[in-house]
Structure 1
């Protein structure tokens, strides 16, 4: 799994921005996964500073005492969010029926493009292994055959065929990806 890391320029900006009250737009990069944009809202007070990090549809908050190294703690926090290393029990991630949505807006758009065209995609959703999704589109009718898997030695696999408009197929594929990630998480944490 290729890790997202903040570059030196962004760290310098974070150091200066931690002393202001403002909203800033940044990008965190990974060699394999590309760029991930995020928004940082800073509320600086005399004793502590409150940070709000928005990545896609997820929102995370952090309050730190005003120190000279708080930008480094903030950078670690942002990298943990981007790499999916935050403890899910304490995370403010998006929940639906007690389960987590593992796809942000960018990954969801990639899955929608995959549903429309067919092909294969490896989704790095912050777990130990990526989720591999393959979709075959049938040209004679509006159907898609989907195969998804996570894991190497004992992979968890799903295979199904859906029929209907692309939006409905996309909704069911995303639901299935979330389900696969949720059932794989306890097994991966126990290993």
Structure 2
């Protein structure tokens, strides 16, 4: 059976496109045959909700999301993959992509690692975290001087390194949440790349 999946590049594009209005063209590839399947994503934003329409050949699949949050693009990615692979959509809410991967691996960080991250947010510095991947995750955090916040760089891998860099302004809890979110995304990307290889 051919199973179509969205590439990581498309996930990054979806993260931006769910915040825009318009029509966007995308391609999925089959894991077995590497043959492309093209589809269009139509985004119609209005106050309080966003209508997302996936158009493939003569099929239209629509999804309405309310109160957009930072994981809307992951919900959309799951919806697209289910649509292109012809899975039946039920009224049961799907488990969020990041949550599902974390459940499979168990808890991503233990209490000591969470404490180390919290201290890293407060003071800045560098840290190596073992999260169960082949290579540890390297984190570097710089405290910004002119505004309260951090600039963080995360990386894992030797030959094909995966990296993430961001700046978050605001109180320490906001910076901590953003760092955990970025770490989850990096680990999910590294796990997906490992399965593809």
TM-score between the two structures when normalised by the length of structure 1: 0.47
Higher relative contact order (CA 8 A, sep 6+): 1
